[in-house]
A = this chain, B = another copy of it.
Amino acid sequence: MLDVCLLGTGGMMPLPYRWLSALMLRYNGSNILMDCGEGTQVTMKMLGWSMKAIDVICLTHYHGDHVGGLPGLLLTIGNADRKESITIIGPKGLERVVNGLRVIAPELPYKLNLIEIQDVFQSFQFGNYKIETFKLDHSVLCYGYNVVIDRKGKFLVEKAQALGLPTHYWGRLQNGETITYQEKNITPDMILGPERKGLKVTYCTDTRPVKRIVEYAKGADLFVCEGTYGEDEDKEKAYQKKHMTFSESATLAKEAQVKTLWLTHFSPSLVKPKECLHNATHIFKNTVVGKERMKKVLKFDD
């Protein structure tokens, strides 16, 4: 079960009724945060999911509205007495940015493990989930992220029995271990069925609509994507500012054949984004206009 919550939906600046774009995920006791603009810790507090359990923070880029809340969040997690290190992933310049901001958070009771993205696409394994990152097209270096939960094949009891394997080996094989039994190596694939569909959440902001997004968001259960402007007539503005309109995001969702699209990162000028929903749904039906602390529980298919 993967819990997802959209912490905020705003671009550019926080507003009294709108927090800055950030996404929180929760899987198996480990929390993941995507972006951390000014005030993210407040909407997170409203949500009630543990800040102390944040193991990974993924930064898309270093514009203030996506990272300004980082030092405050790190301090608050420190006040909650976390001791385990936190990993921060971000574009080149990560060390410079984090060290700059840490001028007001110099002492933390835990370590930061900084990973600067080096390639157009990279994948990182964290325990039982994977974080993938891929380059977007914004005015500064910017990356999208996938959180991927792979799912092994079914454990085939009849195969295990046919090999004469005692039951105390079963769990180890299920967990991916290769074991030696009666001088023979038994690998997991020998007793597991074909890999099953896992879960995938894609987070994409800020960017122009590029083909790479379709490629990496392919088949996502949830596609959280920027829709800075609601109306098609803002296409020129979106082009110039390296953002997207609702219809551009919906087109990506359609091409990537995702299950659900959540729109976020609304321009402060877009006061009532819901009124523009039809600009997306006529292209991709299963579109939802993001709202603060909107949640979704993703479950495996069967």
A41-60 interface bits toward B, Cβ cutoff 8 Å, 1 = contact, 0 = none? 11001100000000000000
User: A67 contacts which of B12, B41, B69, B104 (Cβ < 8 Å)?
Assistant: B104
- Identify A12's interface contact among B69, B79, B96, B100, CB under 8 A: B79
Enumerate chain B residues within 8 angstroms of A290, measured Cβ to Cβ. Answer: none
Q: Is A219 an interface residue (CB 8 A)?
A: no
Q: A104 contacts B63, CB within 8 Å?
A: yes
Instruction: Give the interface segment out of A13-21, A120-128, A181-189, A209-217.
Output: A13-21
Is A149 part of the contact surface with B, judged by Cβ < 8 Å? Answer: no
* C-alpha spacing A97/B45, complex, angstroms: 27
Give the number of times this chain occurs in the complex, counting copies: 2
Taken together as a complex, chains A and B put the C-alpha atoms of A100 and B98 apart, in Å, by: 9
| Given A101-B100, A103-B100, A76 and B45 contact (CB-CB distance below 8 Å) | no
By size class, the interface of chain A is 20 to 34
CA distance A12 to B42 in the complex (A): 13
- Whether a CB of chain B sits under 8 angstroms from the CB of A230 is no
Q: How far is the CB of A139 from chain B (nearest CB, A)?
A: 11
Query: From residue A108, how far is it (CB to closest CB) to chain B in Å?
Result: 11
Question: Which residues A60-117 have CB closer than 8 A to chain B?
Answer: 62-65, 67-69, 71-72, 75-76, 79, 96-97, 99-105
Q: Is the CB of B38 within 8 A of A69?
A: yes
Of all A-B residue pairs in the complex, the 8 with the closest CB atoms, nearest first, are A100-B103, A38-B72, A64-B104, A100-B100, A68-B72, A16-B46, A64-B75, A13-B76
